[in-house]
Structure 1
Amino acid sequence: MNLLLSNDDGIFAPGIRALADGLAVAGHQVTVVCPDRERSATGHGLTLHKPIRAETIESLFHPQIRAWACSGTPADCVKLALGALLESSPDLVIAGINHGANLGTDVLYSGTVSAAMEGTIEGIPAIAISLASFGDVDFRPAARFAQVLVSHIQQQPVDSAMLLNVNVPACPRHDLKGCKITCQGIRRYFDQFERRIDPRGKVYYWLAGEVVQEIEDAPHPEWDPATTMAVKALSTDVAAIQQGYISITPLQYNLTAIRGLTELQTSFDDIDKLFARFIADMDHTS
């Protein structure tokens, strides 16, 4: 397959090398476009007010891999690759291997997930893969699972509007319990801003935080009973990792709150009256 790889840990991160080299050895055509430095937790930010530069990188990856270091964000990297660097569209976009989990609400901040989601937005199936540890540096199990997953997708393609968010426990192979299709959980953090003073006497803040609560999302009220039961039977990504399972969570870029549509249709039963009040207020104040 023709694969485009990116990450948010930067071009020199060990996770991207393990991922790219393993896929190249498996016979895939691999192109790497990554940030030129650490870009974690940048979300889906884009660079709009300054130029984006891309530098060819040699002798870092497998000889068959083409690689660039990009001055932009992870989303910039994928957007630039698809719009300027690649001669043809890839079959699959893969972001990772991230050094640390991307579980629950982490996906809203993750540069790794955002890089993969940029592929999904362009109609290309995508995978975000993370090693669920900030301490462990053995990316080989996650890299091997990526190879198996890509091979499976090659035989059984997934919906191009779907992103697979994969998290791999950082444990020895014999401790892995299996693989689960999961729902996105919810992680609440206790955010703490540490106040510091620089050598020139200026105040600055350093953000730190830790997970204090992990909960399951409530079922959508418009789901039919069969759907509700099916979803409730699934584990969350957070729980799967805690239990030693590899989690695969399907994500999408459409963030419409479906149940909110029903609620708003009830609370705004006559939307035309709301607009008329707005126009009247504008006329009164002008």
Structure 2
Amino acid sequence: MANEMDCKATIADKRPAVLVTNDDGIDAPGLRFLVAQLVAARYVVLVSAPDKDYSAVSHGITWRRAMKAKPVEIEGAIAFAISGTPADCASLGVSGKLFDGLVPDLVISGINNGDNCGYHIVYSGTVAGAREAFFCGVPSLAISHHWVGSKSTVDDLKLTAEACMPLINAVLYEVKNKSFPEGCFLNVNVPTDVSHVKGFKITKQGKFLMRSGWEQTTVDMPTLESYQTANISTANTSSSEGSAPLAENEILFERVRTTIKNHEVEDGETDIEALMDGYISVTPLGALSCNLETLPELKTWLEQRLASSL
């Protein structure tokens, strides 16, 4: 397998090994910026990411077919593009099979361009990548940026990677000392204005949900890169060129945004509230929801490790 010598060399390396995956695809700038930061921090960096955009696939996995793993050149990292979902990529990446026996110390899924707060974590392929690592017993983070089409630029994803490094370093410190909580993984959401974040805040999963509906259409919407189209309306801008013609009696429907369900203010400690207030929201999640038992422990840890990092 390509990169075999590199993989063998890293097994003897005593530096922490970090696996990066995502749902936007291996070419997405959020992933590339994150990898660059990890390489600069001198971690062993592994990449197992989808070969195309798998946004909003939730925790889907590949079951009835084999997956392809293609070596990809990313400076400072050992990387493979996988013909599978984010959960597939995380599972294969921590299995010891892809990187010739090397199992990462930490898995990071992201950086996604678009937040993953509240009920939206159910849809998220980004969160699923981290959740799958958690299922496999490997500490993990999901990182997302609150992309706003009229304000955000690709450079904000680079700033997000930089802003999250204190948290990543702190988590790896806890992992090394075997003190990172085993009952959760972390869902991290970074505000739109990354340059002026107020700090990190441990939060609960809220109930935020952007509702959508359906409308009949005559245009077959193409698959577009999510980092190019996040929060941008594509109505009446797409072409049906290259799409298969409709068969008799077939009807096309497209998903459209309808209303935004406002988050329910309970105690001011939900993920979306912290995000809107300018904080980097750090939410401990279990298999299906927020792990409330870990909140007091993580709050103390955050205050001790990260209070002076920003």
TM bracket, shorter-chain basis: 0.7 to 0.9
Q: Which residue of 2 aligns with 1:200?
A: 246
Where structure 1 has 5 or more consecutive residues not aligned to the other structure, the ranges are: 219-231, 259-286
Q: Distance in 2 between matches of 1:251 and 1:164?
A: 6
From the superposition, tell whether residues 71 and 3 of structure 1 become closer, same or farther in structure 2 (CA, over 3 Å): same
User: In the TM superposition, what are the counterparts of 1:193-232 in structure 2 within 5 Å?
Assistant: 193-197=214-218, 199-200=245-246, 202-209=250-257, 212-216=260-264, 232=267
Larger Rg: 1
What's the CA shift for 1:127? Answer: 0.3
Q: Distance in 1 between matches of 2:144 and 2:189?
A: 5
Aligned residue for 1:156, secondary structure, equals helix
TM-score by length of 2: 0.72
What's the CA shift for 1:181? Answer: 0.8
Q: Distance in 1 between matches of 2:79 and 2:54?
A: 17
Q: CA RMSD in A?
A: 2.2
1:48 pairs with 2:48: no
Alpha-carbon contact 1:19-1:146 (below 8 Å) kept: no
**Which of 220, 239, 250 is equivalent to 2:273?**
239
Alpha-carbon contact 2:143-2:188 (below 8 Å) kept: yes
What's the CA shift for 1:28? Answer: 0.4
Q: Distance in 1 between matches of 2:257 and 2:65?
A: 31
From the superposition, tell whether residues 41 and 217 of structure 1 become closer, same or farther in structure 2 (CA, over 3 Å): farther
1:85 pairs with 2:72: no
What's the CA shift for 1:176? Answer: 1.8
User: In the TM superposition, what are the counterparts of 1:1-286 in structure 2 within 5 Å?
Assistant: 1-58=16-73, 61-62=74-75, 64-83=76-95, 84-86=97-99, 87-135=101-149, 136=152, 137=154, 138-157=156-175, 158-173=180-195, 175-197=196-218, 199-200=245-246, 202-209=250-257, 212-216=260-264, 232=267, 235-253=269-287
Q: Distance in 2 between matches of 1:194 and 1:113?
A: 28
Matched to 1:126, the amino acid is: S
Q: Distance in 2 between matches of 1:214 and 1:187?
A: 6
Alpha-carbon contact 2:207-2:263 (below 8 Å) kept: yes
From the superposition, tell whether residues 94 and 211 of structure 1 become closer, same or farther in structure 2 (CA, over 3 Å): farther
What's the CA shift for 1:209? Answer: 2.5
Matched to 1:155, the amino acid is: Y
Aligned residue for 2:79, secondary structure, equals strand
Percent identity of equivalent pairs: 37
Q: Which residue of 1 aligns with 2:302?
A: none
Q: Any runs of at least 4 consecutive aligned residues in structure 1 with deviations exceeding 6 A, and if so which?
A: none
Q: Which residue of 2 aligns with 1:274?
A: none
Aligned residue for 1:15, secondary structure, equals helix
Cα deviations by residue, 1:11-32 (Å, 9 ceiling, x for unpaired): 1100000001110111100000
Q: Distance in 2 between matches of 1:109 and 1:6?
A: 17
